[in-house]
Homo-oligomer: A and B are copies of this chain.
């Protein structure tokens, strides 16, 4: 049988800080990349500020393979909304994902195309199950970096556009120093 995968290999994950050794593929998102995703506009002087970094263990994008990555979201807010990832559906909608939080405190916001939503806790040791069909966005509600390791099918793909157009049904905002879940007035699902 012809095998689609790479040969077996190993990587070392720092179970506190999330760093991968060797460090392979990095994706950086700055506030300038998130324009329009927060309810408030991103101020010009903050466009270069890094919101999150994804460090991935790359494998061929074939059915059967699994992608894994560490995401680190810096603490902070934009107009009262906590720093967060863009969020996406999987292009192959039925593909699930598993998150393992290594550091920090967060909320995982999930939504279906029909507008159902869920908010799950993230903290050191939390394993979140992101079922197929649920868009997912992670939100750092703590004072330090939120760090999590994710595993998902390599052929899942990314649909960012639906979220860019519709938003999520809820926002996670800071109220008196604590996170609060509010309906998203701009949600167009």
A5 to B6, CA, bound (A): 28
Q: How many copies does the complex hold?
A: 2
Q: Which of B6, B7, B12, B154 contacts A125 (CB under 8 A)?
A: B12
Does A177 reach chain B (CB closer than 8 Å)? no
- The answer to whether A167 has its CB under 8 Å from any CB of chain B is no
Tally of A interface residues using CB under 8 Å: 55
Query: Could you say which of A39-47, A88-96, A138-146, A180-188 contacts chain B?
Result: A88-96
Does any Cβ of B come within 8 Å of A130's Cβ?
Answer: yes
Which residues of chain B are within 8 angstroms of A130 by Cβ–Cβ distance?
8
Q: Distance (Å) between the CB of A6 and the closest chain B CB? A: 6
Which of B92, B93, B134 is in CB contact (< 8 Å) with A8? B134
Among B7, B20, B93, B98, contact of A66 (Cβ-Cβ < 8 Å): B98
Name A133's closest neighbour in chain B (CB-CB). Answer: B3
Binds B, one of A79-87, A107-115, A158-166: A107-115
Binding site for B on A (CB under 8 A): 1, 3-15, 20, 57, 59, 62-66, 68, 92-98, 100, 102, 108, 110, 112-113, 118, 120-121, 124-134, 149, 151-154
